[in-house]
Amino acid sequence: MGFKMGIVGLPNVGKSTLFNALTRTAAAQAANFPFCTIEPNVGEVAVPDDRLDKLAAIAGSKQIIPTRMTFVDIAGLVKGASKGEGLGNQFLANIREVDAIAHVLRCFEDGDVTHVEGRVDPVADAETIETELMLADIESIEKRLQNIVRKVRGGDKEAVQQERLMRAALDALEQGKPARVVEVDAEDARAWKLLQLLTTKPVLYVCNVGETEAASGNAHAQKVAEMAAEQGNAHVIISAQIEEEISQLDPGEAAMFLEEMGLSEPGLDRLIKAGYALLHLETYFTVGPKEARAWTIREGTTAPRAAGVIHGDFEKGFIRAETISYDDFVTLGGENAAKEAGKMRAEGKSYTVRDGDVLHFLFNT
Q: Detail the residues annotated as belonging to a binding site for ATP.
A: 12-17
Nearest to 116 by CA among 86, 89, 91: 86
Binding residues: 12-17
Beta-carbon contacts of residue 137 (< 8 Å; ≥ 6 apart)? 169, 173, 179, 197, 198, 199
> Is 167 within 8 Å of 148 (Cβ atoms)?
no
> Is 108 within 8 Å of 213 (Cβ atoms)?
yes
**CA atoms within 13 Å, Cβ hemisphere of 57:** 7
The amino acid occupying position 23 is T
**H/E stretch holding 64:** strand 63-65
CA distance 199 to 273: 22
Beta-carbon contacts of residue 219 (< 8 Å; ≥ 6 apart)? none
For residue 269, count CB atoms less than 10 angstroms from its CB and return exposed for 0-12, middle for 13-18, buried for 19 or more: middle
**H/E stretch holding 304:** helix 303-310
CA distance 356 to 324: 9
> Is 268 within 8 Å of 44 (Cβ atoms)?
no
**CA atoms within 13 Å, Cβ hemisphere of 186:** 0
> Is 312 within 8 Å of 358 (Cβ atoms)?
no
Nearest to 103 by CA among 322, 274, 262, 336: 274
3-class DSSP state of 130: helix
**Packing angle, helices 267-279 and 15-23, rounded to 10:** 100
> Is 170 within 8 Å of 182 (Cβ atoms)?
no
> Is 358 within 8 Å of 287 (Cβ atoms)?
yes
